[in-house]
Amino acid sequence: MSTKVLEVEGLRKRFHGVEAVRGVDLTVCAGEAVALIGPNGAGKTTCFNMIGGQLRPDAGRVRIKGEDVTGMSPRLLWQRGVGRTFQITAAFASMTVRENVQLALHAKAKRLNHVFGRMTANFGDEADAVLDRVGMRAEAQRPCAFLAYGDLKRIELAIALAAAPKLLLMDEPTAGMAPGERVQLMALAASLAKREGIAVLFTEHDMDVVFAHADRIIVLDRGSILAEGQPDKIKADPAVRAVYLGAGLAPTASA
């Protein structure tokens, strides 16, 4: 785990005089899953949106594989291998599961400007292969509008994976899911990351998910990094315990 995929340096953002993020540095390497946690208002989402191109940082640098991508739009970041899933899940509802992935594959092949020729005629097998990886092959023909929420999350993951990303940003990937599904989805993402050498950065409220699947944890508090390290070290950190008042860090979390 030595290739640095994402490097963030001195990231800052201020909203109407409130400093939401004040100087965050972090690195994520290929094949590594890093969790960004912290209490509400700690600046997780702001950090995330600056890395994902939704927000422009006031100061600091974001690099992908050494290239400075600070302030780039989500689409340009996508071209540089950044895939992402959103907190409020949305797939393309007017299409089938397979069409969602096929469209992402067309985007990857830069064929979206083709006005002739059926979209569904190309990349069908490739799409099925991606769906296999997220365990949705059987649902390929179903319209996305009628999928269960957990399945929709998998489709989002499949859309991101279709572009063969180097970095996967997952904002609250398991929010709104049933407990069983949560661990499953994150286990899937983490194993894909390991196997394919993708760097994963995710925010998460569910500590079970975090401690089970993060290789490294970064704790944010009031815009700065409070602690960083292996799950066991974070779990034992008294400063982290103080911020969370012990909530969510019960001993059962290691199960």
Site of interaction with other proteins (CB under 8 A): 52, 54, 73-75, 77-79, 83-84, 86, 90-96, 99, 102-104, 106-108, 111-120, 143-145, 156, 159-160, 163
d(CA 36, CA 202): 6
Residue 149 C-beta: closest distance to other proteins, Å: 15
SS3 146: helix
Alpha carbons 22 and 210: distance in angstroms, whole number: 24
Q: Output 91 or 210, the one with its CB closest to other proteins.
A: 91
Strands 82-85, 216-221: pairing is unpaired
CB 29 to other proteins: min, Å: 22
Positive or negative, the Cα torsion across 210, 211, 215, 219? Answer: positive
CA distance 4 to 77: 16
Question: Which of residues 88 and 255 has its CB atom nearest to other proteins in the complex?
Answer: 88
* CA distance linking residue 237 with residue 194, whole number of Å: 27
CB of 137 to other proteins, least distance (A): 19
Phi, psi dihedral angles at 245 (to 5 degrees) = 55, 30
**Residue whose structure tokens are 């969370």:** 244
Q: Which residue has the tokens 């023909």?
A: 141
**120 in the Ramachandran plot: left (φ > 0), alpha (ψ -120 to 50) or beta?**
alpha
Min dist. Cβ of residue 202 to other proteins (A): 15
Q: Which is nearer to other proteins, 67 or 116 (CB)?
A: 116
CA dist., res. 138 & res. 142, Å (int): 9
Residues facing residue 72 across a β-bridge: none
- Sort strands 18-29 and 4-15 into parallel, antiparallel or unpaired: antiparallel
Residue 27 vs 96, nearer CB to other proteins:
96
Kindly state the DSSP code that residue 145 receives in the 8-state scheme: G
Nearest approach, Cβ of residue 62 and other proteins (Å): 15
**Which residue lies nearer to other proteins by CB, 163 or 253?**
163
CB of 22 to other proteins, least distance (A): 26
Q: How far is the CB of 14 from other proteins (least distance, A)?
A: 20
